């Protein structure tokens, strides 16, 4: 062991070994892995080792596909047998809704380039897996590249390949302390102290403690997980092939062959947390006592699905812990305020996702950003609220128990809620608000009569008419929307303008004006679709997506300069927006100031009744509108005043479901759909806001290179879809005569224009208006056509009027 390394990876499981391997592969040779015991001691040794294609997040599914491709390469490079059994895999559905969802998921895989999947009938499934009962099954999805690995062999393969590339593996050496020092970190271990630029927390069951060593409270918790291995099954002895990896969505189980028996794993409804503050340091190769009584219901379903289990014994029980995050996805990336500290934690499916996690993190550390869009596993998708132990317990438990439970796009899950509520929440609740969640904040989705319950569905729900009425009010009179769940950052200081000019690609607005502001990475990819406000008193605001607060403040701080202060206003500022042709009449009733003369994209401070507010004339709905920002303490009063002032003008409260429809009718994109860190400004049309003639800004050279080259291969267009009872939601494939030419970024129903609409990323050659295309909606092919942007009010006269 040396006293200095460029990077130190803490944790000798599959994730730590993968990170080490990728760092070495991408050029960092002076790196080491430190393991408190021996490699695999923790979760890796007792993992079932299954690899499969399905994931609810398409970006993570793509990283899983990378891992599967990598496994055979790692085996060859290391010379270590990983016991790779590529048996193929089945995911089975036994209810109409699940079967519909599986058909939709199949099309999603096509969108992201995973082509080796197909739908199968129950009869075909029974032939592919003869020991499985297909009673009650409606269909399944087959994937060629599914199976399982030898877990210990795979970890050693990653580690051996890393060592061949110059990395070092140090076992039997527990990390005792971490200290942030100038230029990096001091890592105090049992065998001495190491100085390093970078520390990677890949500590698995001990991630909580290794986080606390650096003053970080990670939202992770271990939960126990059962599987059993059966004695020999005579029917398997007669087969000349291995049965496939199989997931039974109805029974909460997964199955794979194990020699001539089977391994049956269970995600039980009655979940059990284990050592929420982290595993004991001496723990490593122990297991918890099996608890068949607790998992009795799932066991019965499993034994019914695989009837041969009823005639043989159980050879081995495994009840071991794995670490989970609140949404079940990994926690990866840099931690704000801790330069050089990186997370690679909560990778509960380590042998499936470990390769993708290692690749993405190594790219991030070496090149400044990963190739893939990894927001779905970015540690910055959570804020301080997620450090709460009860929140962690509720959300990780909910994910575990719903591991194989279908969640509908319009379904609201209860764990960790309600947490943060806008001051007027109770009054909006009395008015019939139906709530969703953005980060830690409750947000109104729509308003409905008391006692109304929305039916979870993949198609148009029974809330359709309520949303339609809200859209009508906004278009014809005036709507009131709670905008507490917008992010707001205040930028001040003598160098505030210079800093903004550096991090934003747009020309900055003049005093009393606001401007849409694309923010780019060094490679020209998007880091934000923001709005910048110049209040005219030396202070500026940046507004964006509320759930990106931690993600954006990390970016701001990573690119900070002297003489600038950026303050997150998310805990002290909230507000409402007015949108619709009568919105000016409403607001003019409450002020004698010149607010009526405020031009489109103008902003300023005004007295609204007794409230001093910061007001901007803009609207995401595409109507004449005003965004009114106030103190938290003024929120209730502001709502009451606006509703009273608009009572004779047809005012109606509306929610974000209606806003989805309204913004689609204007072809307005949103983050996580039309705008992601995977796309460039030119792909999304955000390049029209770039100030090409201004001085240097982050991403300028890359953006100019794209502009002056051949341009992007794909661009975003608006589609009209011939759909009657369901609409696109995202990642549906777009076809032209059987050839895949793109995919949907988001979609919904345009209640004003009376059409099913979508925004899609498509190849340049099919982007022209009038091009006939096809889109799969909930698995069914529908005709589609490229139409001109902004099917409602294409000239923008309503918004600017």
Helical packing angle, 14-25 and 151-164, nearest 10°: 20
3-state class of 119 per DSSP?
strand
Domain count, the chain: 2
Nearest by Cα to 359 from 47, 64, 34: 64
Residues 668, 625 contacting (CB under 8 angstroms): no
The neighbouring-strand residues paired with 178 are 187
Structural domain that includes position 293: 4-332+340-364
Sort 79 into a burial class: Cβ within 10 Å, 0-12 / 13-18 / 19+.
Answer: exposed
Residue 10 has pLDDT above 80, yes or no: yes
Mean pLDDT of the chain: 96
Residue 154 has pLDDT above 90, yes or no: yes
**Which pLDDT band, with edges at 50, 70 and 90, does 55 fall under?**
confident
In a domain, 421, yes or no: no
pLDDT digit string, tens, across residues 181-232: 999 999 999 999 999 999 999 999 999 999 999 999 999 999 999 999 999 9
**Which pLDDT band, with edges at 50, 70 and 90, does 113 fall under?**
confident
Residue 406 has pLDDT above 90, yes or no: no
pLDDT, residue 175, reads 98
Indicate the range of 399-408, 562-571, 640-649 predicted with least confidence. Answer: 399-408
In a domain, 725, yes or no: yes
Nearby residues of 32 by Cβ (< 8 Å), 6 or more positions away:
1, 2, 5, 7, 8, 9, 20, 167, 168, 169, 170, 194
pLDDT, residue 592, reads 79
pLDDT, residue 758, reads 98
Q: What is the mean pLDDT of residues 718-736?
A: 97
Structure tokens at 665: 């009718």
Residues 91, 141 contacting (CB under 8 angstroms): yes
pLDDT, residue 63, reads 87
Rounded CA gap, 515 and 227, in Å?
56
Indicate the range of 68-82, 358-372, 590-604, 673-687 predicted with least confidence. Answer: 590-604
pLDDT, residue 782, reads 98
Rounded CA gap, 28 and 363, in Å?
11
pLDDT digit string, tens, across residues 416-445: 999 999 999 999 999 999 999 999 999 999
Residue 525 has pLDDT above 80, yes or no: yes
Residue 239 has pLDDT above 80, yes or no: yes
Structure tokens at 557: 């701080």
Q: What is the mean pLDDT of residues 581-595?
A: 92
Per residue in 238-273, is it b (16+ CB within 10 Å) or e — as a string? eeeebbbbbbbbbbbbbbbbbebbbbbbbbbeebbb
Tell me, what DSSP letter sits at residue 789? Answer: S
Rounded CA gap, 295 and 137, in Å?
22
pLDDT, residue 62, reads 86
- Higher pLDDT among residues 62 and 541, named by residue: 541
Q: What is the CATH number of the domain that holds 150?
A: 3.50.50.60
Biggest CA pair distance of the chain:
88
Rounded CA gap, 5 and 10, in Å?
13
In a domain, 593, yes or no: no
**Which pLDDT band, with edges at 50, 70 and 90, does 54 fall under?**
confident
pLDDT, residue 345, reads 97
Structure tokens at 599: 């031009």
In a domain, 142, yes or no: yes
Structure tokens at 28: 């960092």
pLDDT, residue 58, reads 81
Structure tokens at 741: 């030419």
Q: What is the CATH number of the domain that holds 744?
A: 2.40.30.110
In a domain, 579, yes or no: no
pLDDT, residue 264, reads 98
Nearest by Cα to 513 from 533, 495, 529, 530: 533
Structure tokens at 25: 């592969």
Strands (E), 208-310: 221-230, 245-248, 253-258, 261-266
Residue 578 has pLDDT above 80, yes or no: yes
The neighbouring-strand residues paired with 341 are 199
Q: Which residue has the tokens 């919904």?
A: 748
In a domain, 105, yes or no: yes
In a domain, 558, yes or no: no
pLDDT digit string, tens, across residues 744-790: 999 999 999 999 999 999 999 999 999 999 999 999 999 999 999 99
Rounded CA gap, 185 and 197, in Å?
6
Cβ atoms within 10 Å of 349's Cβ, excluding its own: 23
**Which pLDDT band, with edges at 50, 70 and 90, does 115 fall under?**
confident
3-state class of 689 per DSSP?
helix
Residue 294 has pLDDT above 80, yes or no: yes
Structure tokens at 763: 């190849």
The neighbouring-strand residues paired with 200 are 9, 342
Nearby residues of 500 by Cβ (< 8 Å), 6 or more positions away:
491, 508, 532, 540, 542
688 phi and psi angles, rounded to 5 deg: -70, -15
Residues 188, 179 contacting (CB under 8 angstroms): yes
Termini Cα distance of the chain: 70
Cβ atoms within 10 Å of 63's Cβ, excluding its own: 29
Percent of the chain with pLDDT over 70: 100
Q: Which residue has the tokens 């190491």?
A: 194
Radius of gyration for the alpha carbons in the chain, expressed in angstroms and rounded: 27
Nearby residues of 684 by Cβ (< 8 Å), 6 or more positions away:
526, 669, 674, 675, 715, 716
101 phi and psi angles, rounded to 5 deg: -65, -40
Rounded CA gap, 318 and 229, in Å?
8
Phi-psi region of 58 (alpha: psi -120 to 50; beta: other; left: phi over 0): alpha
164 phi and psi angles, rounded to 5 deg: -65, -25
DSSP string of 19-83, one letter each residue: HHHHHHHTT--SEEEE-SSSTTTTTGGG---EE----SSHHHHHHHHHHHHHHHHHHHHH-----
The neighbouring-strand residues paired with 720 are 757, 785
In a domain, 466, yes or no: no
Q: What is the mean pLDDT of residues 157-179?
A: 98
**Which pLDDT band, with edges at 50, 70 and 90, does 374 fall under?**
very high
pLDDT, residue 53, reads 74
Nearest by Cα to 21 from 223, 158, 220: 158
**Which pLDDT band, with edges at 50, 70 and 90, does 597 fall under?**
confident
Strands (E), 121-166: 139-143, 147-148
Q: Which residue has the tokens 């549906």?
A: 732
pLDDT digit string, tens, across residues 319-347: 999 999 999 999 999 999 999 999 999 99
CA atoms within 13 A on the CB side of 6: 14
Tell me, what DSSP letter sits at residue 458? Answer: S
């Amino acid at each position: 062991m040396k006293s200095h390394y460029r990077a130190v990876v803490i944790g000798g499981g599959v994730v730590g070994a993968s990170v080490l391997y990728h760092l070495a592969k991408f050029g960092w040779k002076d790196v080491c892995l430190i393991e408190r015991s021996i490699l695999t001691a923790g979760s890796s040794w007792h993992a079932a080792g299954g690899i499969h294609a399905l994931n609810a997040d398409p970006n993570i599914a793509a990283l899983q596909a990378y891992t599967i491709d990598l496994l055979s390469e790692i085996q060859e490079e290391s010379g270590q047998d990983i016991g790779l059994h590529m048996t193929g895999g089945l995911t089975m559905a036994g209810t109409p809704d699940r079967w519909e969802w599986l058909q939709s998921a199949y099309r999603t895989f096509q969108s992201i380039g995973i082509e080796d999947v197909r739908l199968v009938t129950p009869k075909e499934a029974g032939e592919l897996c003869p020991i499985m009962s297909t009673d009650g099954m409606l269909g399944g999805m087959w994937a060629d590249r599914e199976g399982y690995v030898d877990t210990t062999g795979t970890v050693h393969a990653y580690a051996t390949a890393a060592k061949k590339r110059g990395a070092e593996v140090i076992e039997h050496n527990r990390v005792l302390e971490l200290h942030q020092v100038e230029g990096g970190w001091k890592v105090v271990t049992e065998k001495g102290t190491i100085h390093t630029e970078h520390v990677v927390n890949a500590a698995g069951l001990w991630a909580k403690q290794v986080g606390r060593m650096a003053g970080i409270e990670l939202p992770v918790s271990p939960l126990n997980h059962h599987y059993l291995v059966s004695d020999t099954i005579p029917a398997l002895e007669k087969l000349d092939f291995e049965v496939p990896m199989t997931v039974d969505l109805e029974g909460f189980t997964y199955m794979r062959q194990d020699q001539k028996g089977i391994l049956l794993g269970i995600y039980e409804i009655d979940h059990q947390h284990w050592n929420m503050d982290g595993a004991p340091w001496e723990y490593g190769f122990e297991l918890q006592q099996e608890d068949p009584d607790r998992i009795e219901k799932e066991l019965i379903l499993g034994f019914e699905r695989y009837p041969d289990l009823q005639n043989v014994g159980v050879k081995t029980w495994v009840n071991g812990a794995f670490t989970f995050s609140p949404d079940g996805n990994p926690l990866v990336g840099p931690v704000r305020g801790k330069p050089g500290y990186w997370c690679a934690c909560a990778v509960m499916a380590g042998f499936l996702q470990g390769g993708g996690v290692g690749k993405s993190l190594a790219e991030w550390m070496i090149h400044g950003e990963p190739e893939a869009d990894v927001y779905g596993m970015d540690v910055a998708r959570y804020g301080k609220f997620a450090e709460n132990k009860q929140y962690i317990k509720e959300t990780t438990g909910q994910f575990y128990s719903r591991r194989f439970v279908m969640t509908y796009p319009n379904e609201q899950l209860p764990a960790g809620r309600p947490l943060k509520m806008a001051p007027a929440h109770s009054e909006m609740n009395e008015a019939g608000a139906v709530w969703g969640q953005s980060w830690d904040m409750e947000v109104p989705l729509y308003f409905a009569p008391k006692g109304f319950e929305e039916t979870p569905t993949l198609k148009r729900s029974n809330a359709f008419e309520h949303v339609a009425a809200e859209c009508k009010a906004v278009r014809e009179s005036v709507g009131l929307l709670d905008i507490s769940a917008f992010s707001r950052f205040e930028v001040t200081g003598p160098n505030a303008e210079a800093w903004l000019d550096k991090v934003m690609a747009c020309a900055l607005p003049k005093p009393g004006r606001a401007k849409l502001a694309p923010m780019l990475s060094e490679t020209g990819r998007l880091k934000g679709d923001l709005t910048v406000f110049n209040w005219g008193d030396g202070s500026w605001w940046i507004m964006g997506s509320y759930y990106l607060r931690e993600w954006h403040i990390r970016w701001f701080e990573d690119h900070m300069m002297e003489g600038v202060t950026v303050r997150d206003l998310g805990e002290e500022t909230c507000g409402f927006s007015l949108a619709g042709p009568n919105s000016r009449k409403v607001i003019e009733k409450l002020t004698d100031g010149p607010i009526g003369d405020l031009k489109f994209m103008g902003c300023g401070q005004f007295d609204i009744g007794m409230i001093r507010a910061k007001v901007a004339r803009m609207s995401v709905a595409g109507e004449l509108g005003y965004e009114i920002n106030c103190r938290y303490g003024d929120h209730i009063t502001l709502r009451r005043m606006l509703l009273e002032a608009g009572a004779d003008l047809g005012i109606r409260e509306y929610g974000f479901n209606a806003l989805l429809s309204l913004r689609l009718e204007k072809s307005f994109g949103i983050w996580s759909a039309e705008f992601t860190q995977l796309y460039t400004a030119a792909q999304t049309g955000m390049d029209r806001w770039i100030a090409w003639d201004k001085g240097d800004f982050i991403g300028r050279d890359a953006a100019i290179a794209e502009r002056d080259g051949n341009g992007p291969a794909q661009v975003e267009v608006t589609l009209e879809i011939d759909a009657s009872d369901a609409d696109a939601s995202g990642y549906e494939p777009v076809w032209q005569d059987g050839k895949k030419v793109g995919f949907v970024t988001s979609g919904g129903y345009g209640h004003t224009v009376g059409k099913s609409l979508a925004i899609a990323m498509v190849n340049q050659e099919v982007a022209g208006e009038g091009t006939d295309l096809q889109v799969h909606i909930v698995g069914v092919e529908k005709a589609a056509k490229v139409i001109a942007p902004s099917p409602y009010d294409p000239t923008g006269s309503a918004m600017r009027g």
